[in-house]
A and B are shown apart, each in its own frame.
Chain A
């Protein structure tokens, strides 16, 4: 199954009623089992793009479609083939870990017993075993995002959308979570679209990095990362890693500077 973004543009009105061009004519394709990073400086519309793919925002022009997919669930409900992991976690504070992970399955109409079993699998996969009965406010940031990831994986999405999932975490936790996500990816081979503004993160994790420009967001370059899988920390020093990181930084440096002085 492929995700195709066909000439997507997004214009919205800001508080003063001025038109803001967030995305301009963005086209891209994400292949099955591919890990793609969407990278750009702040204000490049990368989160906007992700929300459009998730069906949470309407593009002003252009379309997004999924090619070659069966989106019917067992209960016959036409299901959106994506699941989202949010930067601010967006867990339901009134639901325990178990119930948060079950949410998407509940909406898909899965029976309670089966739901609990499914959720259980992903709770174990994400290292949350033993925390099923906890509420989100009782968990650390890293554990909360594990819940976010488990909740998304549980609905077995064709595409996993991740919106700067680890940027709210401290540096050490972020590093560990990146490794864990890579390990999960090795096991599940989910198609992932991963939004980030962190070049090292993008290069370390993705097969391909799509670099977006600042407002309006346009595709500046698509850079294929020539690192083997599974990725290890040792690769952070490899010439292929450094080259890709430098190339990307060269592309967005001036724009990042612009963003700072705004």
Chain B
């Protein structure tokens, strides 16, 4: 982050320097040097030469990573190229009068090439790894409730594949970090149980199938532990076990605990609970210990926390009149930012973007949100109601 701000600062300085030297530059907003959640201005870029699927992919990928599309006059960066048979394109910094990137792509699909180009653009401008070639898992229900399936798709909803066909209620998929494997809840055996599912072999194993509730699996960042909600003690609480289901330990004892998520160093688990008659987010050492409550004043009834991979933020759902996606710094240094209507936020690997679900009529659609600019775009529509997205990390 520090380095990023420095980069932006230098871009700003160069822009000022150039404007000073050549007064002919029209007034253009210089990028703000401080990123404020939900209030940062997008970086203006122009896009030319792309007409088909390539244009569609570039617009989606860049919009949800903090860029806006303007005419070349008003742009800070010019993107031009072609998506005629394969993707080729260049990126020019208009202030610096410098080509930052000029590249052609081949292989895979045109769509994939366009995602790769978008990633290269994001990296050239921000120094951050883009999200264009990442995956998500989610659940989808034809009727909006009841039986459904677990799906895996590109982060923008394209190339969706159904993973389970058990004619059962399913819930809350979670990726095993860096692996082709999911944990999820399925009622296939007439009880909400947690399963591990290898996506390479199709093999599944039961991780938790105790009497009562077994749900909300969250995998520790090194993949060795699972946090989840069990009710085997007589109330719904957070428990932790090894990745294979052994070595089970109860780590929370509240009355209304749900939705565990791990800190990236694996030492804490954040979850939703109730304290002094108010719904709160709390964190507890992953090995058990004293519960600490997070300050989410201004975002009532918090549930569904998701800890960012860089460790700084917790995204969650606040229930006011509607559901809202919110983000709060873990250290409590800022009040929570209420971003957009929606639920179930899950962080991208680069901790800048969230995938979440939002209401469209009585159904849920997946959507991708840039937390700094609040720009969001809906994923490719699947039939039915899609929710509980989990971003592969």
A and B assemble together: no
Q: Enumerate chain B interface residues (CB-CB to A < 8 A).
A: none
